A and B are shown apart, each in its own frame.
Chain A
Amino acid sequence: MASAKTTELVLPSLPEGWSAEKDFKVLDKISSTIQRTIEPVGPHFLAHARRARHKRTFSEDDRIQAQERAKKVEEDNDSDISEPEDLMMLQRDAKDWKSQDHYKVLGLSKYRYKATEEQIKRAHRKKVLKHHPDKKAAAGRSEDDNFFKCIQKATEVLLDPVKRRQFDSVDEAAEVEPPTKKQLAKGNYYKLWGSVFKAEARFSKNHPVPHLGDEKSTREEVENFYNFWYNFDSWRSFEYLDEDVPDDNENRDQKRHMERKNANSRKKKKAEDNARLRKLLDDCSAGDERIKKFRQEANAAKNKKRLEKEAAEKKAAEEAKAKKEAEEKAAKEAEEKAKTDREASKKAKEAAKNAVKKNKRVLRGSVKDANYFVSGDASAATIDAVLNDVDLVQAKIDADEIAALAGKLNGLKIADEIKGVWTEEVQRLVAAGKLKDGEVKALA
């Protein structure tokens, strides 16, 4: 076992960041031990004994102490299976073994279907020690072996798993009656019913069998319980109650008849038992407050959900409506804005046009105010030349520049000043390459 032959299994690489002084860490100590007795047998033990003794001498006290420390392997205590024997039972006729309470005969009344196989064996042995007829005879008592036969029969049945189930199926003493209304009235609903199902659970083919639980059980637990039990898979059967079938070969017809009768009777009893369990469950669930509680909770939850859904729907509709309205409003506003924008821009254009016109008038006016830069009356040619240049300059500049130029000229009355402004503008335009040098003459 302690070999690591598998090729793919390797020591892990040292994790990044692992470090320790001297490359090791002690993290814990050996956690748990049990004192046991090793057998003083074999060559390897001799070596151990040599080491362990160290030339010491042990006393009887040491022996007792050491034995007490060691975990016991043999338990010879039968106190768990002691039960008084009543006279009625001791006088039973072994021929009536079918009707005897096998558990009681062996002193296992308080265990019944819960008795382990080992308990049954120990119980049997205990009874044999006491009741074996040869022992009674040796002690000079009566050689009546009737009860001994009862013991043997009980053991035969209980140590055969098949026969034991057949007997357990009809062991009335193991039954727990359902609680009466009166009992339930005092409370303890879950405890009372719980023990009924705990007893019924002995017939289950499937394990573990869920318990009824208590008022604190969760809905899942409760559902699980009833689901399990309404689908209960039971091994309970009723052949133990069969009527004896004649063992001889002569009465074949009668034998067959009896067998058929028994088969029918088993079937009927099984059906009755299923119905009985169904009724137990119906009765138990009918009074189970947890089911009511969970149903109410479920209903409340359902209602809550419905209301929430409705509210959500309403809210959604309202939101949709609001959204639609907002969209419509926005569209309208956008349209109106576009319209006003359009109008505004038209106005602005007109205003600009007017401004240009006005400014152009200023420009023209300026040269007129400067008397066309001549003293005395200006000749038509001069006027024409100056105005030509004004037009030429005007054509080269945009509305803003016209406005700027007009701003500079506005209010000027002295011809030289006016001339200066114009000259400056012409020079600017020439410098900007918009006018050729010399193209403007009268205003240069």
Chain B
Amino acid sequence: MAEEGASKAGIVPSDRTAIGIMFSNSNSSIAYTVDDKAEVIANEDGDRQIPTILSYMDGDEYYGQQAKNFLVRNPKNTVAYFREFLGKDFKSIDPTHNHASAHPEEANGTVSFTITDKEGEDAAPSTLSVQEIATRYLRRLVTSASEYIGKKVTSAVITVPTNFNEKQKAALIAAAAGAELEVLQLVPEPVAALLAYDARPEVEVSDRMVVVADLGGTRSDVAVISTRSGMYTVLATTHDYEFTGTALDKVLMDHFAKEFMKRNAGIDPRQNPKSLAKLKLEAESTKKALSIGANASFSVESLAEGIDFASTLNRLRYETIARPVFAGINRLVESVVKKAGLDILDIDEVILSGGTAHTPRIAANMQSIFPRTTAILAPSTTPTAINPSELQARGAALQASLIQEYEAEDIDQSTHAAVTTVPHIANAIGVVLVSESAETFIPIVPGETAVPARRMVHVKTPKDGGDVLVKIVEANTHIKVTKPEPKAKTNGKASKSATVEDADETEDEDDSDLSDDEEEEDEEKRERMWKIGTTLAEAALRGVKKGSTVEVTINVNADLSMTMTTREVGAKGGVRVNVPAP
């Protein structure tokens, strides 16, 4: 993954100091791993979520929260929401979010911003490419991290959206190189978030189907990731630019603007850029406050035409007016599960990542969409959840500490597509058990597992022991829907006119025209069921002792041949079966 940029930088591993960077549209974060534990670093302003904004005032450069504050006073020389433009033509960029700050333009065939970054009344404005802006911003992050660590940061793992293309990646690597930063690897954002969770010492490696919903400021990205023994395969992704943190800001801006208008003879603060900027900043902080409290205040000095404004909003009301956005997020999550060819019931875990993931309503909605057995990892639903704003930077830092000791060339070869493109078994492989002679499938290797794979289970034996059959089969799941008992559907009178008369002597059975229009929607029951497919192998274990346990191990090899070994735990012998490659 680390393209030319990394190999050219060619820093000797022992000279490296590597960090993890979440470099995102609205905010960025830096993280560092000490003793296998990744920590997000606060910058000199004390911020761990550092707005991805660069601003110039009297020749001085500001970044992060300070630059964000300049959106009100100095929008023209403030560059925000630029990460998305790296490696893109002017033709294919969306400038929507740059309206209240420096506007992107096309210069020298690349996306650029024209700002005054030098001192003096008559200083000539500079036209800076987006890559240059990114370089300057990254340099600030690196400086901040270096100061914290006490060593010059040389290298980083940086997170990128799953739909970042090769050109965008190359542009980012080049931008980093401009800041003398070696990119060890670019890691997909949802995978970094997942890694941050999986790296917790208490976590046992397991097979799970995970949804990572990265809900940011200008985009919401959701991915379905098959997690198999600590290896990650992205099965489906979706990207949305409508149901985002900014959309929630807009809901609040409209709400408070209307309230302001009501109080102030129709003066609309949205009409004036400065008022709009103030409205937006305060709306965002009210929104954040509503993630914690049941009530939040909204207060802006001189919001419009010199009029101060103060108001409050409770969470319930907020959740009502923002419902279309929340509903859009719900649909987005549901759609990507479907896109992955899965059902809601197939998902074991939902990781909520990104700033907007702090919103309690969103986590609560996930709880009602997914079955109770699905873990919803968000601050409001899981007390041990990791701060959703920190997940990606932490994951990047963990990955950085894992690979920093390797030569750039070595990293490149290890992350090569020839290494990462691997067959995944489509169906689960497992053993057939019985209870009162009904067959049940117990998965050993789940579907969507990359090969080679090795898994083991322990299973019980019949009460009295004896000879048992170990039957290894393939299986997949389907959803069994049990509709509530349908109310006897009487054909209304109308239907009669077109119904072909029954050949039997028709006794008018349904003259009792009971009103059937109020069809209360009874909940249908949905269950995930195993459907047993082909039998791969059978083996007999003879004379199993009363109450003993049997161990079944499956090895699926890289060539898709399979070995099954089974034995009675604590006894000698056992059976080994080799299933040849297809």
Contacts and interface: CB of A to CB of B under 8 A. Distances in A.
Interface stretch (A100-108, A130-138, A264-272, A334-342): A130-138
A124 to B, nearest CB: 7
B481 interface: no
B450 interface: yes
B460 A10 contact: yes
A36 interface: yes
Contacts of A33: 423-426, 451, 560
A219 B461 CA distance: 53
Contact of B443 (A1, A10, A48, A52): A1
Nearest to B465: A13
Nearest to A278: B494
A32 B533 CA distance: 12
Contacts of B540: 14, 18, 20, 23-24
A6 B435 CA distance: 10
A438 interface: no
B371 interface: no
A37 interface: yes
B395 to A, nearest CB: 8
A161 B327 CA distance: 9
A44 B435 contact: no
Interface stretch (B51-59, B135-143, B236-244, B376-384): B236-244
Contacts of B230: 42-45
Contact of B499 (A4, A23, A223): A223
Contacts of B492: 230-231
Contacts of A278: 494
B421 A27 contact: no
A36 B236 CA distance: 11
Contact of A223 (B93, B238, B455, B500): B500
B534 A118 contact: no
Contacts of A281: 498
A48 to B, nearest CB: 6
B466 A13 contact: yes
Contacts of A1: 206-208, 348, 443, 446
Contacts of A35: 421-424
Interface in B70-94: 90-94
Q: Which of the listed residues B452, B502, B538 has the most CB atoms from chain A within 10 Å of its own CB?
A: B538
Interface string B410-439: 000111111111111111011111111001
Contact of B500 (A10, A26, A129, A219): A219
Contact of A12 (B95, B208, B416, B468): B468
Contact of A38 (B422, B460, B471, B498): B422
Contact of A74 (B163, B185, B442): B163
Interface residues of B, number: 136
A38 B450 contact: yes
Contacts of A4: 433, 442, 457-460
A28 B327 CA distance: 47
Nearest to A6: B435
Interface string A33-62: 111111111111110111111000110001
A66 B414 contact: no
Nearest to A294: B500
A9 interface: yes
Given A30-B429, A38-B422, A138 B233 contact: no
Given A33-B425, A44-B229, A45-B231, A11 B535 contact: no
A129 B492 CA distance: 53
Contact of B417 (A15, A62, A231, A298): A62
B575 interface: yes
Interface stretch (B6-14, B98-106, B314-322): B98-106
Interface stretch (B172-180, B187-195, B280-288): B187-195
B461 A11 contact: yes
B104 A10 contact: no
Interface string A113-130: 000011001001100110
B480 interface: no
A264 to B, nearest CB: 22
Interface in A219-251: 219, 222-223, 226-227, 230-231
Contacts of B442: 2, 4, 9
Contact of B579 (A3, A26, A45, A73): A26
Contacts of B165: 76
B34 interface: no
A58 B237 contact: no
A132 B94 contact: yes
Contacts of A282: 497
Contacts of B538: 18, 20, 24-25, 27
A73 B161 CA distance: 13
A285 to B, nearest CB: 4
Contact of A231 (B416, B494, B550): B494
A143 to B, nearest CB: 11
B115 interface: no
A129 B539 contact: no
A132 B241 CA distance: 15
A48 B229 CA distance: 11
A9 B419 contact: no
Contacts of B234: 37, 39, 73
A41 B187 CA distance: 7
Contacts of B96: 128, 132
B25 to A, nearest CB: 15
A396 interface: no
Nearest to B104: A138
B413 A53 contact: yes
B163 A12 contact: no
A253 interface: no
A99 interface: no
Contacts of B463: 10
Q: Which of the listed residues A49, A282, A294 has the most CB atoms from chain B within 10 Å of its own CB?
A: A49
A67 interface: yes
A23 B536 contact: no
A39 B191 contact: yes
B397 interface: no
B421 A67 contact: yes
B421 A37 contact: yes
B242 A10 contact: no
Nearest to A61: B418
B299 interface: no
Given A18-B469, A46-B402, A227-B499, A30 B425 contact: yes
B469 A13 contact: yes
A40 B420 contact: yes
B474 A30 contact: yes
**Nearest 5 A/B pairs, CB to CB:** A44-B230, A14-B467, A66-B417, A40-B415, A24-B539
Given A42-B402, A66-B420, A134-B104, 6 more contacts: A13-B467, A30-B562, A37-B234, A39-B420, A53-B419, A73-B237
24 contacts: A9-B459, A10-B459, A24-B537, A29-B560, A30-B556, A35-B424, A37-B421, A39-B231, A40-B1, A45-B230, A48-B450, A49-B419, A53-B413, A53-B419, A63-B416, A76-B163, A117-B335, A128-B96, A132-B95, A135-B104, A226-B495, A227-B495, A285-B497, A295-B500
Interface of A: 1-4, 6-15, 18, 20, 22-46, 48-53, 57-58, 62-67, 69-70, 73-74, 76, 117-118, 121, 124-125, 128-129, 132, 134-135, 137-139, 155, 159-161, 219, 222-223, 226-227, 230-231, 278, 281-282, 285, 291, 294-295, 297-298, 301-302, 305
Interface of B: 1, 90-96, 98-99, 103-106, 162-163, 165, 185, 187-188, 191-192, 195, 198-199, 205-208, 229-238, 240-242, 324, 327-328, 331, 335, 348, 395, 398-399, 402-403, 413-427, 429-436, 439-440, 442-446, 448, 450-452, 455, 457-463, 466-471, 474, 491-492, 494-495, 497-503, 533-542, 550, 556, 558, 560, 562, 575-582
